[in-house]
Amino acid sequence: MRKIVFDIETANTFADVGSSKPEDLTLAVVSIYDYKTDSYQSFLEKDLNKLWKIIEDTDILIGYNSDHFDIPLLNKYFPGDLFQIKSIDLLKEIHKSLGRRIKLDIVAEATLGEGKSSHGLQAIRWWQEGEIEKVCKYCEQDVKVTKKIYDYALTHGKLKYKDLGKTKEFPIDTSSWETISQKPSLTKTLF
Query: H/E/C letters for each residue in 116-152?
Result: CCCCHHHHHHHHHCCCHHHHHHHHHHHHHHHHHHHHH
pLDDT at 122: 85
Across the chain, what does the average pLDDT equal? 91
Per the domain annotation, does 191 fall within a domain? no
Determine the number of helices (DSSP H) and then strands (DSSP E) in the chain: 7, 7
Residue 44 within a domain: yes
Q: How far apart are CA 7 and CA 71, in angstroms?
A: 9
CATH number of the domain encompassing residue 105: 3.30.420.10
pLDDT reading at 191 higher than 80: no
- Mean pLDDT for the stretch of residues 120-135: 89
Does residue 11 belong to any structural domain of this protein?
yes
- Distance CA(30)–CA(33), nearest Å, equals 10
Instruction: Look at residue 117 and tell me whether its pLDDT is greater than 60.
Output: no
Predicted pLDDT at 12? 94
For 152-161, what is the mean pLDDT? Answer: 97
Does residue 33 form part of some domain? yes
Q: Residue 181: inside a domain, yes or no?
A: no
d(CA 16, CA 31): 23
174 part of a folded domain: no
Range of the domain at 54: 3-169
Name the percent of the chain lying above pLDDT 90.
81
Q: Is there a domain that residue 89 lies in?
A: yes
Pairwise CA distance, residues 30 & 51, whole Å: 9
Q: Is the pLDDT of residue 111 over 60?
A: yes
pTM above 0.95, yes or no: no
In this structure, what DSSP letter does residue 51 have?
H
Domains contained in the chain, number:
1
Q: Is the pLDDT of residue 186 over 70?
A: no
The pLDDT of residue 140 is above 90: yes
Say if residue 185's pLDDT is above 90: no
- Phi, psi values for residue 133, rounded to 5°: -65, -40
Q: What are φ and ψ of residue 71, in 5° steps?
A: -65, -45
* pLDDT (tens digit per residue) in 42-98: 999 999 999 999 999 999 999 999 999 999 999 999 999 999 999 999 999 999 999
Predicted confidence (pLDDT) at residue 188 exceeds the cutoff of 80: no
Residue 189 resides in a domain: no
